[in-house]
Amino acid sequence: MEKLKMYEALNWASSYLEDHNREAHAAELLLRHITGLDRHTFYMELRELLTESQLEDFKKSVERHVQGVPVQHMIGYEEFFGRRFAVNQDVLIPRPETEELIWYMLERTDRIFSDKKNLHAADIGTGSGILAITMKLERPDWAVTATDLSTAALKTAKRNAETLGAGIEFKEGDLLHPLKGKSFDVFLSNPPYIPYSDIETMSEIVTEHEPHSALFADEEGLILYRKMSEQLPDHMNRPGLIGFEVGAGQGQTVAALLKKSFPNDFVEVINDINGKDRMVFCELLK
């Protein structure tokens, strides 16, 4: 078999992936996974030769990605807010824009609760646990509860919480139903919000490898926002903060749902770094 230096293999894979409508950056992630090198060492050793087995494994993994297998499922993780979260076919792969939901939430809670540290926070539809775990690790004084309808997703979330050292209370069930009798200062959710009608235009990397229950929702993707908005008045303390991630174009509709439940409070639609309406926050006044 031919001998290739790491940079030669990387260049070949990057071009090959781009030719097949895949992200070139995936080549680096796959090659680092196969060589076991961190990013700094990887770039220091780019002129080193790959072994025959490494090159063979690399080519196979690149081909699998071209065929639609997510890189994150091959390497077993995705980075989120500077931490590594295990992912698999049972959970949604974390998206970079969801980091903005956390960032804006932290900014707002620091202002709203400037004199209170021991907050109670909830994450509904936790999936891999990224929101709940990040909240707990960024604000260790908070008590964080996370729910999900999927037993398999909760298993992954619990494993991530254990690995990252985050003490989370996990509950299985639909939306806020497992939280009967509980109230919260901070509420976050990134629920399924893609209309089923969009499935035909989406990449098979998503539709064939991520759980549809974590992606798609009825009522043009809005049913879970409506249900949560109706349930939230029974679970929120004052002052309080509610934060939703939404699909592009859904911001004003979701804001109206929250405004219906909290007519005297401040509801705001926030655009993400790409200028798309991606977050809706509701600040509950005292």
190 is in an annotated binding site: yes
- Cα separation, 22 vs 74, in Å, equals 15
13 CB-near residues (< 8 Å, 6+ apart): 27, 30, 31, 58, 59, 62
125 is in an annotated binding site: yes
148 is in an annotated binding site: yes
127 is in an annotated binding site: yes
- Cα separation, 170 vs 119, in Å, equals 17
167 is in an annotated binding site: no
253 is in an annotated binding site: no
The neighbour count for residue 230, using CB atoms within 10 Å, is 14
43 is in an annotated binding site: no
For 45-84, letters b (16+ CB in 10 Å) and e give eeeeebeeebbebbbebbeebbeebbbbbbbebbebbebe
- Which H or E run includes 84? strand 83-86
15 is in an annotated binding site: no
Where is the binding site for substrate, in residues?
Answer: 190-193
Where is the binding site, in residues?
Answer: 125-129, 148, 190-193
Where is the binding site for S-adenosyl-L-methionine, in residues?
Answer: 125-129, 148, 190
